[in-house]
Amino acid sequence: MAFETINVDVDDHIALIRLNRPDALNALNTQLLKELCQALEEADANEKVRCIIVTGSDKAFAAGADIKEMSGMGFGDVFTINLFADANDRITKIRKPIIAAVSGYALGGGCELAMACDFIIAADTAKFGQPEINLGVIAGLGGTQRLTRFVGKSKSMDMNLTGRFMTAEEAERSGLVSRVVPAKKLIEEATNVAQKIAEKSMMTVMAAKEAVNRSYETTLSEGLLFERRVFHSMFATEDQKEGMTAFLEKRQAQFRDK
Ligand code: HXC
């Protein structure tokens, strides 16, 4: 299907999904989120794809949910359509790794979308924020929940109650982003990282993603048990034999996802 609000480019095992509503700083509307979810699901199902990058423009990853689309809605509307809940559920079901490559504004739903990805690589121009408070609402796609887990209560309260923006440097210091790179090199750096992941055993990458995500859903002891069982199960795979043999033979492992 041809998309209107995003561009998708699959090259060398990497799906690059670019949000593309430049006139609205990539504000997330129903159509964009629908197309994004569909593109993510197609990439997840595409055997060639081993890592996904979601990005925006230089000026904006996404400046939030589309305020024009939401402004006329009442409680009955957002409750009945369960605004954006479907997108959150669909994104969290993607099994392949998703990197958010963020340049410029990642605000409100934009910050929340970045946090719903597996990790964030930020350009030094990135600005993160949950400014919903200025619109008379609160975050609705993880801004009070995921942000609090990433940066802690104090900073999350600060962001959610004042609506101030965080620089890329502060975001890295606070644990919101994994690395900061020069804006001009954002896609190059994100692609290099994606390429590194694409060289691993996809099966093992998926297992690692599942185990890390488990830590957000369960107690420490249950999470550790889950991790141990997955770790044990890896010893039933050919890729474990290949990975360890290759190390001992001082050569590059040739993983086969088996
Ligand atoms: C709709 C938006 C938009 C948004 C920007 N635009 N953000 N349209 N929804 N979230 C549009 C503007 O209306 C304008 O269109 C064009 O993009 C350029 O924006 P400007 O404001 O002129 O640019 P600038 O002066 O550079 O300011 C950039 C900005 C500002 C600081 C990012 O646009 C801004 O504050 N945007 C809103 C940020 C926000 O409040 N996000 C949270 C949304 S609520 P025109 O047609 O005038 O040129 C949310 C809830 C999520 O995300 C809950 C999910 C369930």
> For ligand 1, atom 6, which residue shows the shortest CA distance?
24
pLDDT at 24: 98
Closest CA to 128 of 158, 98, 99: 158
Q: Measure 149 CA to ligand 1 centroid, in angstroms.
A: 26
Taking only the tens place, the pLDDT of each residue in 158-184 is 999 999 999 999 999 999 999 999 999
Taking only the tens place, the pLDDT of each residue in 107-133 is 999 999 999 999 999 999 999 999 999
Helix (H, G, I), strand (E, B) or coil at 206: helix
Taking only the tens place, the pLDDT of each residue in 16-32 is 999 999 999 999 999 99
> For ligand 1, atom 25, which residue shows the shortest CA distance?
25
Euclidean distance between CA atoms 141 and 92, whole angstroms: 12
Tell me: pLDDT of 190 over 90: yes
Ligand 1 site-directed mutation target among 25, 59, 69, 107, most atoms within 8 Å of CB: 25
- 68 Cβ neighbours under 8 A, 6+ residues apart: 24, 27
Average model confidence (pLDDT) for the chain?
96
Euclidean distance between CA atoms 67 and 145, whole angstroms: 21
Which two structure tokens, joined as six digits, stand for 239?
């890729």
- For 65, the enclosing helix (H) or strand (E) is none
Decide: 84 in ligand 1 pocket, CB within 6 A. Answer: yes
pLDDT at 111: 98
Euclidean distance between CA atoms 147 and 145, whole angstroms: 6
> For ligand 1, atom 14, which residue shows the shortest CA distance?
24
- For 108, the enclosing helix (H) or strand (E) is none
Quickly tell me which residue has 């999904």 as its tokens.
17
Ligand 1 site-directed mutation target among 28, 30, 67, 144, most atoms within 8 Å of CB: 67
Instruction: Tell me the β-bridge partners of 69.
Output: none
Q: How confident is the model at residue 86 (pLDDT cuts 50, 70, 90)?
A: confident
Euclidean distance between CA atoms 47 and 68, whole angstroms: 38
Which two structure tokens, joined as six digits, stand for 24?
């609205």
Tell me: pLDDT of 1 over 80: no
Taking only the tens place, the pLDDT of each residue in 197-231 is 999 999 999 999 999 999 999 999 999 999 999 99
Query: Known catalytic residue: 238?
Result: no
Under 8 Å between Cβ of 121 and 193? yes
Q: How confident is the model at residue 258 (pLDDT cuts 50, 70, 90)?
A: very high
Percent of residues, the chain, with pLDDT higher than 70 = 100
